[in-house]
Structure 1
Amino acid sequence: MAAVLFDFSGTLFRIESTESWLRAVLAEADVLLPEPELIRAARDLETAGALPGGAFPSGRLPDAVAAVWDIRDKSAELHRAAYTGLSRQVPLPDPALHDALYDRHMTPAAWQPYPDTAEVLGALRERGVAVGVVSNIGWDLRPIFRDHGLDPYVGAYVLSYEHGIQKPDPRLFATACEALGTDPRDALMVGDDRRADGGAAALGCGVHFVDHLPVSRRPDSLRPVLDLIR
């Protein structure tokens, strides 16, 4: 393999918990909620699927969200509209908190790399294997990689909202391979979504899946990638 393409959320990084997300925003806004209300609001936000990179919505989508849900990663505007629409199903003390929640999830503090992310990316660089990040997302994740010291390992970022194309569309993977100067047949796609990330197989890429688990429960799922590229 000449290149490895990685998904972002649930593959290299994991978003913080919904409770942590809400606590951080309330603290930043200097808004106090009684603990039982805070816990209830966090639970309701999780049920609504309001945290990007977190749990999917478990109930019926609001009409406005349903209209854009399947294409939410094609633009920054659609992504924000979808997730703030979900958040607004949950009453909060100040309506401005819904946009603050969305803004929080785009910060480096909201994301944590999996324990073996740096090790695997570093080993790939030592072996001369190119690395790309291919993500369905509505915002620029590059600052996350820079803040966590992982940007030097990445040769190309191919983000759906910048191209108006979402995985599993093969064109997104083809764009990444072209940016890395790699034939798709010499590339491996690593992700946690069998439908979205599995789209790379249409180009002839190898595909390897990992489980979308909390960081504490997935210490070494990326290490098998190093065996696959030998």
Structure 2
Amino acid sequence: MRPRVIFFDAVGTLFRVRGSVGQAYSQVAAAYGVSVDPQALNRAFAQAFASAPPPACAGLLGSSLLAWERAWWRQVVRQTFAGVGSLAAFGEERFEAFFARLFEYFAGADPWELYPETLPVLQALQGEGIRLGVISNFDSRLPKVLQALQLEGYFSSLTLSTQVGHAKPDPRIFQAALETQGIPPAAAWHIGDSYREDYQGAKAAGLRALWLDREGKDSACQERIENLWGSLPLLNALERN
């Protein structure tokens, strides 16, 4: 079935961190007099992020939700710097100022870059009359990021884990996205770079799932694409059948 809507993951699918998270953290920390090796920070961030609870909290709106999101990320950042033994170098007051600046930094364009094929693929799909949406375990900063990257005009819906209260791979975040678009699961595709969160999560929710395996981790997966261009031949094949 030709999809009526194609959903995309955000980070790692449409855009990525410029350089690395460790480099960004190190750069901002340096402005507060704390010097940390970017590679060590990158490793510590990966561990802190993996051990964090799902970025979802049901029932919060407005300023309460924003406060929860900031607290979630504050803990990840604290654990990251604690992991390299540099948390005490800030002191509590300076760390809070540093974190505030870091949190806002990731709401803009500077730390992000688009994958080369992102815009051409979105334009091609939009030209086919297919609606596009985003399903992401991001937070309320994502609309600002999409606007800064000039992507906001391509998507008719944004479904965020912190706002829905369920994070991928929970099928309820996919169901929320489908309800926003007013379509059944069989009428939607989902494309994302996480095998567990995007591919398995979307498939379990009844969507057609495509795994964006940019690093070539598993060539045996039948629904695997190496970049976003890989979605177009699959769509064209439906047209011929």
TM-score by length of 1: 0.78
Task: Give the residue type in structure 2 aligned to 1:178.
Answer: E
The residue aligned with 1:204 is 206
Q: For structure 1, which runs of at least 5 residues remain unmatched after alignment?
A: 50-55, 214-219
Q: How many Å apart are 1:157 and its aligned residue? A: 0.2
- What letter is aligned with 1:180? Q
The answer for the alignment partner of 2:78 in structure 1 is 85
Q: Displacement of 1:99 after TM fit? A: 4.0
Residue matched to 1:229: 235
Q: C-alpha displacement at 1:82, in angstroms? A: 3.2
Match of 1:53 in 2: none
95-104 vs 190-199, greater mean Cα deviation: 95-104
Choose which of 21, 38, 44 in structure 1 pairs with 2:40. 44
2:142 equivalent in structure 1: 141
State the alpha-carbon separation in 2 of the partners of residues 182 and 109 from structure 1.
35
Q: What does residue range 53-72 of structure 1 map to in structure 2 within 5 Å?
A: 56-57=46-47, 69-72=52-55
- String of CA shifts for 1:123-142, please: whole Å, max 9, x gaps: 11100111110001233201
Equivalent position of 1:4 in the other structure: 6
Residue 200 to residue 153, structure 1, CA distance change in 2 (3 Å): same
Question: Equivalent residue of 2:13, what SS?
Answer: coil
SS of residue paired to 1:72? coil
User: How many residues in Structure 1 have an aligned counterpart in Structure 2?
Assistant: 204
Paired residue type of 1:86: Q
Moved more, 183-192 or 194-203: 194-203
Which of 21, 24, 28 does residue 21 from structure 1 map onto?
Answer: 24
Provide the C-alpha distance between the structure 1 equivalents of 2:170 and 2:116, rounded to a whole number of angstroms. Answer: 30
State the 1:100 CA deviation: 2.9
Distance 2:228 2:23 in 1: 25
Determine the structure 2 residue equivalent to 1:217. none
Which residue identity is paired with 2:43?
T
- TM-score normalised by structure 2 residue count: 0.74
Q: Does 1:131 align with 2:132?
A: yes
Q: Is the 8 A contact 1:187 1:205 kept in 2?
A: yes
* Unaligned stretches of 5+ residues in structure 2: 58-67, 216-225, 237-241
* CA contact 1:79–1:137 (8 Å) conserved in 2: no
Q: CA deviation at 1:24?
A: 4.2
One-letter code aligned to 2:231: V
Question: What is the DSSP-based 3-state SS (H/G/I as helix, E as strand, rest coil) of the residue aligned with 2:196?
Answer: coil
SS at match of 2:167: coil
Q: CA distance change for structure 1 residues 116 and 167 in 2, over 3 Å: closer, same or farther?
A: same
Aligned CA distance change for structure 1 residues 167 and 12 (closer, same or farther; 3 Å): same
The superposition leaves residues 140-159 of structure 1 with CA deviations (integer Å, 9 ceiling, x where unpaired) of 20111112221111010000
| 1:26 Cα offset (Å) | 4.7
What percent identity do the matched residue pairs reach?
28
- For residue 177 of structure 1, report the CA deviation from its aligned partner: 1.8
Kindly provide the CA deviation profile for residues 146-187 of structure 1, in whole angstroms up to 9, marking residues without a partner as x.
122211110100000011111111121122122223221011
> 1:174-189 alignment to 2 at 5 Å?
174-189=175-190
Instruction: Give yes or no for contact 1:2–1:186 (8 Å, CA) kept in 2.
Output: yes
Give the drift of 1:2: 1.2
CA distance 1:154–1:175, shift in 2 (3 Å): same
Measured on the aligned residues, the alpha-carbon RMSD in Å equals: 2.6
Q: Determine if contact 1:79/1:138 at 8 Å carries over to the other structure.
A: no
Q: Which amino acid in the other structure matches residue 150 of structure 1?
A: L
Q: Which moved more, 1:148-157 or 1:83-92?
A: 83-92
Amino acid across the alignment from 1:110: P
